[in-house]
């Protein structure tokens, strides 16, 4: 019986890398971020609704959603975040449900890649939750480097989510990503062996 696994983490925890590795192991990934982009793609009803709420400035010169503008608005005005969620979430839900059902019918184990799984209380929609874990200090450091942010801005983004340590207590399994990409790969493969998704003799690098 195929399983539906919720994959989550904190911002800059390395979840995208884990998704790629799971794809290489034959899992099918349904990505909430991809679905969210589809929900407000050029010419969609979703984008029209965004324009109605956020104004003309929310649309760039090419007719796409100006993500930087909308992101800045919702970061500084929580009530606008709620309005955006009311537009996007139902559309994203429908897109992801359809993808998930299609993959399950084909017999694949499905990864629901949902960054805000706990924040949006979606843990009961999956069979189990896997968390990509790293420390808050590493999140802040990676975010500063990746997005060219000040420490203050990076901290604000990290602290806007449920803390990674609280998520750690809520998840069924964790995948440690506090070190190198190689160690992340080995930690993930160890979990896949323990859970019976791959054999112990899978071609992995030896660990001392």
pLDDT in tens, 105-154: 999 999 999 999 999 899 999 999 999 999 999 999 999 999 999 999 99
**Is 39 annotated as ligand-binding?**
no
**Is 160 annotated as ligand-binding?**
no
Residue 6 φ then ψ, to 5°: -85, 120
**Is 19 annotated as ligand-binding?**
no
pTM of the model: 0.86
| Residue range 91-113, pLDDT digits in tens | 999 999 999 999 999 999 999 99
**Is 196 annotated as ligand-binding?**
no
pLDDT of residue 201: 64
Task: Round to whole Å and give the CA distance between 50 and 62.
Answer: 15
**Is 13 annotated as ligand-binding?**
yes
Q: Which residue has the higher pLDDT, 204 or 36?
A: 36
Q: Which residues contact 152 (CB under 8 A, 6 or more apart)?
A: none
Contact 130, 30 (CB under 8 A): no
**Is 12 annotated as ligand-binding?**
yes
- Domains plus CATH for the chain? 1-27+109-208 (3.40.50.300), 36-107 (no CATH)
- pLDDT cut 90: percent of the chain above it: 88
For the cut 60, the answer to whether the pLDDT of residue 10 exceeds it is yes
């Amino acid at each position: 019986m195929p399983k539906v696994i919720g994959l989550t983490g904190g911002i800059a925890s390395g979840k995208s890398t884990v998704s790629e590795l799971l794809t290489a192991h034959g899992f099918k990934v349904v990505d909430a971020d991809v679905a969210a982009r589809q929900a407000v793609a050029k010419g969609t009803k979703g984008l029209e609704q965004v324009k109605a709420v956020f104004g003309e400035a929310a649309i760039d010169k090419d007719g796409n959603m100006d993500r930087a503008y909308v992101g800045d608005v919702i970061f500084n005005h929580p009530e606008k975040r709620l309005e955006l969620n009311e537009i996007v979430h139902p559309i994203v839900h429908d897109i992801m449900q359809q993808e998930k059902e299609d993959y399950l019918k084909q017999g694949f184990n499905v990864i629901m890649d949902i960054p805000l799984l706990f924040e949006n209380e979606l843990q009961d929609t999956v069979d189990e939750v896997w968390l990509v874990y790293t420390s808050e200090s590493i999140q802040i450091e990676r975010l500063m480097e990746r997005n060219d942010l000040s420490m203050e801005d990076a901290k604000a983004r990290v602290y806007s989510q449920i803390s990674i340590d609280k998520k750690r207590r809520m998840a069924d399994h964790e995948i440690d990503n506090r070190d190198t990409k190689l160690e992340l790969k080995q930690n993930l493969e160890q979990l896949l062996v323990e859970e019976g998704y791959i054999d112990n003799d899978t071609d992995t690098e030896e660990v001392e």
